[in-house]
Amino acid sequence: MNTEPTAEDVLNRPVAALGLPKFVLTMLAKDGIVSVGDLIKRSETDLLHIPGCGRRSVNKVMEALGERGIVLSATPFRSGPYALALGVADVGMVTVQLSIAEAEQLYRVLRQALKEAGRIREL
């Protein structure tokens, strides 16, 4: 039986599981970041724009994620699906650096595969 966490398991973990200080968790929650999945959609710049979240708080977040092999998005959250989590290796996320054109193509392929598998539906 495979006991390794799936990508979905990792993304659904609460940010509290990262062992961050309570004040950092509170700031993240006020901005709607409650899971690891919510967190990795954000860039370092996004986090720095959260009221009360300074460089030391962002460093704590990045350190906690780094210990688990997970990284923040390289692009701001509202700019599109250009930083894609592709899977889980051991305890961390596997990430790749793509050009915007490559990321858009991969996004279309993944979206279609998820749609065909019944994991996504059009609104």
86-118 pLDDT per residue, tens: 433 333 444 555 666 666 777 778 778 777 777
Cα distances (angstroms) measured from residue 68 to each of 13, 52, 64, 92: 12, 25, 7, 5
Quote the CA–CA distance of 36 and 14 in Å, as a whole number: 6
What is the DSSP secondary-structure string of 4-37? SPPHHHHHHSBGGGGT--HHHHHHHHHTT--BHH
> Could you tell me if residue 101 is inside a domain?
yes
Paired tokens of 41: 């959609």
β-partners of residue 92 are 89
**pTM for this prediction:** 0.59
Query: What is the CATH number for 22?
Result: 1.10.150.20
> Could you tell me if residue 12 is inside a domain?
yes
Taking only Cα atoms into account, the Rg of the chain, rounded to an integer number of angstroms, comes to 15
> Could you tell me if residue 104 is inside a domain?
yes
Q: How many domains does the chain have?
A: 1
Question: What does DSSP assign to residue 78?
Answer: G
Identify the pLDDT of residue 122: 59
Q: Which residues contact 80 (CB under 8 A, 6 or more apart)?
A: none
> Could you tell me if residue 24 is inside a domain?
yes
pLDDT tens digits for 6-63? Answer: 777 778 899 999 999 999 999 999 999 999 988 988 888 889 888 889 999 999 999 9
